[in-house]
Structure 1
Amino acid sequence: MNIMLNGINYSYLEAGKGQTILLLHGFTGSKETWANLINRLKQNFHVIAIDLLGHGETESPNHEGRYMMEPAAKDLYDFLTKKQIETVHLLGYSMGGRLALYFALAYQNKIRSLILESCTAGLISDEDRIMRIKQDHDLSSLILNKGIESFVDYWENIPLFSSQKSLPRNIQENIKIGRLNQSPIGLSNSLKGMGTGVQPSLWNRLISLESKTLLVCGEFDEKFCLIMGKMNDKIVNSEIIKIPSAGHAIHVEQSEIFATIVSEFLLKREMEGIS
């Protein structure tokens, strides 16, 4: 399915009935990334997975500023408005988690609950931000100058995804195919417009987050477990779960466990009678 949002043709899929949960994938991912989770959640919920800017079948604007958090979040708000959806449970992974957090803080009245998988609230020091922006621009140049295949060969071998090497070969191949099918300009501009270095730091705003929040990290992903532990300390109404035998992409590496945790969290929120 497709929908026009502020001049951009977005692609999404939806399944099931009930309260809506909106799924936001990570960098180099797409709505298809959530297939296993959708199959579980659609039994009790109305599930929507959307291809973010520059990913999947959504358009890839040429202007990198279009990918920044503020316009990207506004697109999501307008999506819910056009779909006549008052409130959502919002789940985001990695890059999608950063966008989900930004959206939840900008539009708190739209959030029934928030689930963040392997993400950060941003970088605090100027030095870290400048270094990360340079790294993202270097990656952007790799994509545009060397091609998507060279980038994917590099990306799938970074330490962040080392735990995925133990996944069944067919799953690894599906992940690679998904990455290879991405738009070079879309990925490049996502790095420049929505990268961790350029996004606003949200650390000082976490205390104002009112929604019940679930933070999920994988035990092998020590860096992000540490980051999310600090986020958990600042968010008033949150809890954190560390998933055994999982790295960064928990919904892929431990899909059944992840689906069970998410489903139980959402059902509990609904049973508590969120208005």
Structure 2
Amino acid sequence: MNINLKGETFHVDMCGKGTPLLLLHGFTGSSGTWLPFCETLGRHSFMICPDLPGHGKTVVECGPGSFSIESAACAIKEILDVLEIEKADVLGYSMGGRLALSFALTYPERVGKLILESASPGLDSEEERHARRMKDHELANFIKERGIGPFVDYWENIPLFKSLQAMPGPVKEAVRKQRLENSPDGLANSLIGMGTGAQPSYWDRLSELEPEVLLLAGELDEKFCGIAGRMSEYIKSSKVVIVEGAGHAIHVENPEKFGTIVSGFLTHT
């Protein structure tokens, strides 16, 4: 369905029954990222899967404010308001994990349990954020100038997704198809507005998190294994799970294991 928020249109897919579960996809993804889990997670959760700004069928204004992580967190809250949902469990992957963290810190009363897959609280220093912003702007210009096809060719071959290349052809083709369905301008604006360099650092606010937090990382993704371990030192109630044989995109590389871990975390009391 489409939800109109102040002239902007957010596409949201929903399935399942039970406790509301908000699922936030990563950069170049869409709501379709989560639909394969409707049968498993949908047994106990009412899944709410929006296309985030710059992705899928969601249409927002082109101004930089519409693509900031703060603006996206506000839009997520308004989507829950429209659906008359007071509180939801939240699962975010990569960029969606950074958004999930921002949402949990900004609207703590709206979050039940929090799951962060291959996610980061941002970069520590302003120097690091500035350098990352410069790289994100360069990549945004590449997308606009070269188009979606050449960008996806580049993106699927960066080291972060090396383990995805070992997946069966149909799996890789499904991921590629989803990426190609995004618009160049949308992805470029998302990079500039919601990239890691544009995001505030949340490291010094992790101790504010009240919900139970599950931190997921793939064994082959050493950088984010380290980040998950470091985050757990600051969060009051957290559990780190490292998935063997998986890289950055655990839900794609080992969906059965991913579903089992997430279901177990959400349903235990």
Question: TM-score, length-normalised on structure 2?
Answer: 0.98
Map 1:2-41; keep pairs closer than 5 Å.
Answer: 2-41=2-41
Maintained 8 Å contact 2:16/2:39: no
Maintained 8 Å contact 1:165/1:172: yes
Distance of 2:149 and 2:220 partners within structure 1:
27
Residue in structure 1 matched with residue 189 of structure 2 by the alignment: 189
**Bigger mean CA deviation after superposition, 45-54 or 153-162:** 45-54
Residue in structure 2 matched with residue 130 of structure 1 by the alignment: 130
Maintained 8 Å contact 1:216/1:241: yes
Q: Secondary structure at the match of 1:258?
A: helix
Maintained 8 Å contact 1:101/1:121: yes
Paired letter, 1:136: D
Paired letter, 2:179: R
Which stretches in structure 2 are left out of the alignment for 5+ residues? none
Paired letter, 2:150: S
Maintained 8 Å contact 2:14/2:48: yes
Matched residues, number: 269
Task: Kindly provide the CA deviation profile for residues 219-266 of structure 1, in whole angstroms up to 9, marking residues without a partner as x.
Answer: 000001101111111001111000000000000001000000000110
Residue in structure 1 matched with residue 160 of structure 2 by the alignment: 160
Structure 1 residue 60: Cα displacement = 4.4
Aligned residues: CA RMSD: 0.8
Distance of 1:204 and 1:184 partners within structure 2:
34
Residue in structure 1 matched with residue 227 of structure 2 by the alignment: 227
Q: Secondary structure at the match of 2:196?
A: coil
Structure 1 residue 70: Cα displacement = 1.3
Maintained 8 Å contact 1:60/1:183: no
Q: Secondary structure at the match of 2:59?
A: coil
Question: TM-score, length-normalised on structure 1?
Answer: 0.96
Residue in structure 1 matched with residue 42 of structure 2 by the alignment: 42
Task: Kindly provide the CA deviation profile for residues 41-82 of structure 1, in whole angstroms up to 9, marking residues without a partner as x.
Answer: 111211111100110111143112211011111101111111
Residue in structure 2 matched with residue 252 of structure 1 by the alignment: 252
Paired letter, 1:16: G
Maintained 8 Å contact 1:94/1:117: yes
Which stretches in structure 1 are left out of the alignment for 5+ residues? none
Q: Secondary structure at the match of 1:56?
A: coil
Maintained 8 Å contact 2:25/2:92: yes
Residue in structure 2 matched with residue 142 of structure 1 by the alignment: 142
Residue in structure 2 matched with residue 92 of structure 1 by the alignment: 92
